[in-house]
A and B are shown apart, each in its own frame.
Chain A
Amino acid sequence: MKTSNQSTQLMQSMLDLLIPPVENLAGAGGLNLEEELLRMSTEHSKYTGVIDRSIDAITRLLGSSGLNSQVTSEVIQQFESSDPRLFELLLEIVYTAYYSDTRVHERIGWKSGALQPDGHPMPPWDESVLDTVRKREPFWTRVN
C-alpha cells in the first residue's frame, strides 16, 4: 500500500468522505485505519491492491494537480461511476475495517470480540403464540 505523506493524506480525506466524523468520534480517515486496511489487503487476495488502485484512480481524476488538490464528494462520485466494481470493494474493505474498530463498537453499542462463547440471551419459547394459526384447517394439497 502507498505510504508517502501525500498519498496518506489523500487516503485519509477519501476515508473521511466515505464515513464522516460523527458526534465525538472521528471519521474513518481520522481513526488511523491505515494499518488495519494494510493487513486486510495483504491477508486475502480479494482486497489485494484495492486501496492503491483506488488512490491511483482518484489521483487521475484530480488531474494535473494530482495529490496536491482536495478530494471532494464529487470526485468520489466520479470514481464510483467510472469503476463501480473497484469502488464496491473499496467501500466493503473500508466499512469492514471501520465497523471492526472497538471505538466504533463503543459508540454504536456493540460488544467487541468473538461472537462465541457468549452468544445472546433469548426469552424462552412460548407456545401460546400459535393459538391463532392453530385454528386454521390444513390447506396443503392432498395428492398421492
Chain B
Amino acid sequence: MSVNVREPVDVLVIGSGASGAAVTWSLSEAGFSVACLEQGPWVPPSSYPTSSADWQFLQQTKWHYSPNVRKLPADYPVNDDTSQIKVVMFNAVGGSTIHWTAHVPRFHPSDFRVKTLDGVAEDWPISYFDLEPYYDLNDEMMGCSGINGDPANPPRSPRQMPPIPIGPDGERIARAFDELGWHWWPSDVHVNSTNYKGRKACNYCGPIGQNCDRGARASSDITYIPEAIKLGAKVRPNSTIFEITAGDDGRATGANYYNANGEQEFQPANAVVVGCNGIGTPRMLLHSTSNSHPQGLLNSSGLVGKNLMFHVYAGASGFFNDLDAPTYRGPLACIIMSQEFYETDPSRDFKRGYTFQMGRGQGPAPTATGGVSWGKNHHAEFAERFGKNLGLGVIGDDLPEEINRVELDKKLTDRHGIPAPKIIYRVGDNSKRLLAHGVNSARTVLESAGASRIISSQLNTNTGWHLMGTARMGEDPARSVVNQYGQGHDADNVFIVDGSVFVTGAAVNPTPTIQALALRTADYIRHERSDLKS
C-alpha cells in the first residue's frame, strides 16, 4: 500500500489537549517547525450544550464525560470493566479541557518528596520550585482567577484576575470551616472573573464542564492553540496516530496515522512529543513495537502502562432550607477548597492526605438523576435538594501501585482497528482509610454549616478524569520511563508531556502541573536540543 508522506517537521506533537497544546505553542514560539496531530475535530463553541435548551439531554449523551457513552467518531472505547473507577476524557482539539472544570490548585512542595517524608512511593526527580516559573507562565497563558496569601501553600505570583466571587453559599461553607478552625481558601481557577485576552468574564451559568461560547473558561483550543497557529504551528485535526516509528538506533523517525478520510499517512519528524493523556499515551507506546522496541516504545523497564493513578473521590452533600439564593446559581465547582488535611499527620491511619472541593447544586434533571428516588416520595425528595444542596468533594492522593495499569485489550478496538486500552485498577487500602476520614470530616463541616440533612458516598466511581503515572519520570531507567524533562530513557528524541509522567498524584487536580511540566519539557528542547531544529 502506498502511504502519503508529509513534509518533515522538527517536532511532531501528538494530542492537542492541555499538555500538547502548551508544547506546540512554546516550541513554535522558539522557531521550531511543529505539526500537532489530533485525532478529534475542532469543536465549534456554538455547539456547546449551554447554548442549547436541550442541554440536560446533551450532557447525558453526546456531551457525556465518558467516551464509552458518547461514542463520537473520534472516541476510542476504553475497557474499564476491571476498574473500580471509570475513565472519562474528551477527544477533540483542546482534549479533555473541552470538558474540564478548570479548578487549578498546585502541588505542594511535599508532594515531590513523599518517599523522603513519608516512606511511600518514590520522590520526584524535580522539586516544586523547579516547576514554579512554569506554573506562573501557564497561568498567564490560560488566565487564572484567584488571590495570594493562602497559608496552606507557598506564596506565589499575583493572579491575572481577582477570585470568582464565592457567593452567599460559598460564604456559608467558608464560615463553617472558620468555626471549626479549619483551613479554606478561594479556589484558583482558569475561569475568567474579568475579561481576559479577548475572552469574556464568566456569567455564572453553572455547569462549567459543559463549556460556554463566551470563552470564560479556558481550554487549550482557545488559549494555546490559536497563539501557536499564529506562530506557524500546523494543527491537523481528525488525524489518528496508530504508531510512532523508530529506526534501528531506537530513535523515533515520525508517526503513522489515519487522516480525516481514513487514509494512512506518515509524518516524519526529528522529535516526537506525546500528549495523549495517561491512558492514550501508554496505549500508543505499547502499540508502537519495532525491532528496537519489541515491548513497545520506551518500555525496556516494562513500566509503560503501570502505576496508573486516578485521584480517589468521595464526598458528602448537605441540604439547606434557609439559603438566600438557589445553589444552582454560580460555577458548579470553582468556589472554595480546604487543605486542612493535605499533609501527612502521624496521628492519622493513612499517609498523605486530601483536598476538599466545594460543589454547588445543578439544574433540574441532573438533580433528579443524582439520586432522587422514584415513586411517591419523588417530589418531596426533589424539593429537598433542588437549589438547596451543597457538596464537599474529597480528592485523595492515590498512591501508585504497579498492579494498577493500562494494557492493550486483546479484542476491543477503535474504528480503525487500533486496540483499545484495558484498565485494571482497584482502590488501595491507604486510599480507603483516607476517604473514610475525608467523608467524616466533610459531614462535620456540613453539620457546622447548618445542613438539615446530609448524605455521603464512600467512593465515587465515575470520576476517572485525572489520568496519571503510566510512564513515570525518574533518574533510574530500570524504575522509570522518562527523565525529569519527559525525555525517554530509551529514545532521546521522544518526549512525554501528559500526566503519564507523574511519579505520584498529589491530592489536587493535576492539570496546572501537567501543563507546567509540558512547558518545562519545551524549555529543555528550546535550550538544550537545537540539534532537533532543521
**Interface residues of A, Cβ cutoff 8 Å to B:** 17-20, 22, 40, 43-47, 73, 76, 91-92, 95-96, 98-100, 104-105, 108-110, 112-127, 129-130, 132-134, 136-144
Contacts and interface: CB of A to CB of B under 8 A. Distances in A.
Contacts of A121: 204, 329
B204 A120 contact: yes
The 7 closest A-B pairs by CB, nearest first: A119-B203, A44-B61, A120-B329, A99-B364, A99-B365, A141-B110, A115-B205
Interface in B102-128: 108-110, 112-113, 116-117, 127
A142 B109 contact: yes
A20 B375 contact: yes
B375 A17 contact: yes
A47 to B, nearest CB: 8
Given A20-B376, A108-B364, A140-B152, A129 B166 contact: yes
A40 B342 CA distance: 44
Chain B: number of interface residues, binned into ranges = 35 or more
A20 B380 CA distance: 11
A85 B347 CA distance: 42
Contact of A45 (B48, B71, B183): B71
A127 B17 CA distance: 34
A43 B61 contact: yes
A18 B207 CA distance: 27
A44 B71 CA distance: 9
Contacts of A108: 364, 382-383, 386
Contacts of A119: 202-205
A133 B212 contact: no
Contacts of A73: 375-376
A133 B56 contact: no
Given A138-B152, A138-B154, 7 more contacts: A17-B375, A19-B378, A20-B376, A115-B51, A116-B214, A122-B204, A130-B147
A22 B57 contact: no
A95 B162 contact: no
B359 to A, nearest CB: 16
B53 A18 contact: no
Interface in B56-84: 56-57, 60-62, 64, 69, 71
B213 interface: yes
Nearest to B45: A116
A136 B99 CA distance: 35
Given A17-B374, A116-B214, A139-B152, A100 B365 contact: yes
B329 A139 contact: no
A133 B151 contact: yes
A110 B64 CA distance: 23
A118 B50 CA distance: 10
B171 A138 contact: no
A47 B207 CA distance: 23
A114 B50 contact: yes
B178 interface: yes
Contacts of A98: 368
B226 interface: no
B363 interface: yes
Interface string B314-334: 000000000000101110000
A17 B376 CA distance: 8
8 contacts: A95-B372, A96-B57, A114-B55, A116-B48, A123-B168, A125-B162, A125-B193, A130-B186
A39 to B, nearest CB: 9
Contacts of B57: 40, 43, 96, 100
Nearest to B174: A129
A50 to B, nearest CB: 12
Contacts of B193: 125
Interface string B321-365: 000001011100000000000110000000000000000000111
